């Protein structure tokens, strides 16, 4: 088990060889010794979960990673400094939402230059984790190609960043509010390898099966680590490996309820002319309310499973490299 340094460290305790990036003592020590590290996003804390549970979930996910033998590195920007690893009081600050913006990869330099604070999305974590030489990243569901993309050309920055960073990303597929077939096609075009973990079906975030197959399926973390080693041996450009880990069937959102509420959410968004960056949070909130919180439960089940799998993959890969 990986143990955490005492809370309450100050910035002067952080390793800041790279300007604007600070490493917590725990993460700094793990990286220095080649120990397994798992990157975690912070938007799930600030924007993705209700305030009543978000901080507890953030702590729980870090605990799951530690119990799996790896070091968690939750990433956020505080007062213009990118933090790789957060102390508990910093998790509390992100969870409060006060003055915490939502930061994608394109926003990082702006937040750093202006001293802003924000939580990191998938694209931002990809950029920072790759810079920090962290190989494994855990999230809930990825962004992707939005419905109606033919008119809006709306596509998440997550996909392009996955094509530029050699990370192993453990996720429960992509959010079901998206155009899933178009997203899978886009991942193929971007040369991002997609594997199903113990499944031949691509998961749909709240759902164990989006209705689409995956071409490759692996059954063990040893196999995933072997793929990562093959990436290293090939020396190819830094495309990600997406490990699609479905939410357990018994914990998924009821598919019929999901489809009904999603139709209602999309109709409401169209009626109110909601689009752009406001669309995803609107739809997710609508679905949470429309399912009586069942979608939040499915989300939590997915991300907990992803954290455990991500830790196991990081441990296997670090052991192979030792």
Give me the catalytic one of 9, 62, 90, 175. 175
Beta carbons within 10 angstroms of residue 125's beta carbon: 33
Question: Taking a C-beta distance cutoff of 8 angstroms, is the pair 120, 156 a contact?
Answer: no
Q: Give dist(CA 297, CA 71) in Å, integer.
A: 25
Q: 152: part of which helix (H) or strand (E)? A: helix 149-152
User: Tokens 């995803």 appear where?
Assistant: 280
Distance of CA 72 to the CA centre of its chain: 13
Residues linked to residue 120 through DSSP beta bridges, in sequence order:
103
Q: Is 250 a catalytic residue?
A: no
Give me the catalytic one of 9, 41, 62, 90. 41
Q: Which distant-in-sequence residues (6+ apart) come within 8 Å of 211 by Cβ?
A: 180, 201, 204
User: CA separation (Å) from 122 to 54, 137, 201, 283, 288?
Assistant: 18, 9, 22, 18, 21
Quick check: helix, strand or coil at residue 7? coil
Q: Give dist(CA 98, CA 264) in Å, integer.
A: 31
Q: Give dist(CA 65, CA 85) in Å, integer.
A: 13
Q: Is 175 a catalytic residue?
A: yes
Selection from 78, 83, 74 nearest residue 115 by Cα: 78
| Per-residue b or e along 110-124, where b marks 16 or more CB atoms closer than 10 Å to that residue's CB | ebbeeebbbbbbbbb
What does the DSSP 8-state code read for residue 198?
Answer: S
Q: Which residues are catalytic?
A: 41, 175
């Amino acid at each position: 088990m990986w143990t955490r340094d005492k809370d309450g460290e100050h910035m002067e305790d952080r390793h800041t060889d790279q300007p604007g990036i600070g490493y917590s003592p725990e993460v700094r020590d793990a990286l220095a010794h080649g120990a397994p590290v798992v990157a975690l996003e912070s938007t799930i804390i600030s924007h993705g979960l209700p305030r009543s549970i978000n901080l507890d979930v953030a702590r729980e996910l870090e605990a799951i990673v530690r119990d799996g033998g790896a070091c968690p590195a939750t990433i956020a920007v505080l007062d213009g400094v990118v933090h790789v690893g957060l102390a508990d009081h910093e998790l509390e600050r992100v969870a409060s939402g006060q003055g915490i913006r939502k930061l994608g990869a394109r926003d990082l330099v702006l937040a750093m230059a202006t001293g802003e604070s924000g939580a990191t999305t998938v694209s931002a974590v990809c950029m920072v984790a790759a810079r920090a030489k962290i190989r494994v990243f855990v999230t809930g569901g990825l962004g992707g190609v939005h419905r109606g993309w033919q008119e809006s050309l709306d596509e998440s920055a997550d996909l392009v960043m996955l094509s530029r960073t050699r990370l192993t990303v453990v996720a429960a597929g992509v959010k079901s509010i998206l155009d899933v077939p178009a997203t899978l096609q886009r991942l193929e075009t971007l040369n991002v390898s997609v594997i199903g973990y113990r499944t031949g079906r691509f998961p749909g975030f709240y759902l164990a099966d989006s209705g689409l197959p995956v071409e490759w399926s692996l059954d063990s973390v040893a196999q995933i680590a072997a793929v990562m080693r093959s990436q290293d041996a090939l020396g190819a450009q830094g495309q990600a490996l997406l490990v699609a880990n479905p939410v357990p069937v018994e914990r998924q959102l009821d598919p019929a309820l999901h489809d009904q509420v999603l139709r209602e959410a999309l109709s409401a968004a169209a009626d109110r002319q909601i689009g752009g960056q406001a669309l995803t949070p609107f739809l997710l909130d609508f679905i949470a309310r429309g399912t009586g919180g069942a979608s939040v439960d499915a989300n939590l089940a997915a991300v907990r499973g992803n954290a455990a799998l991500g830790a196991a993959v990081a441990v296997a890969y670090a052991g192979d490299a030792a």
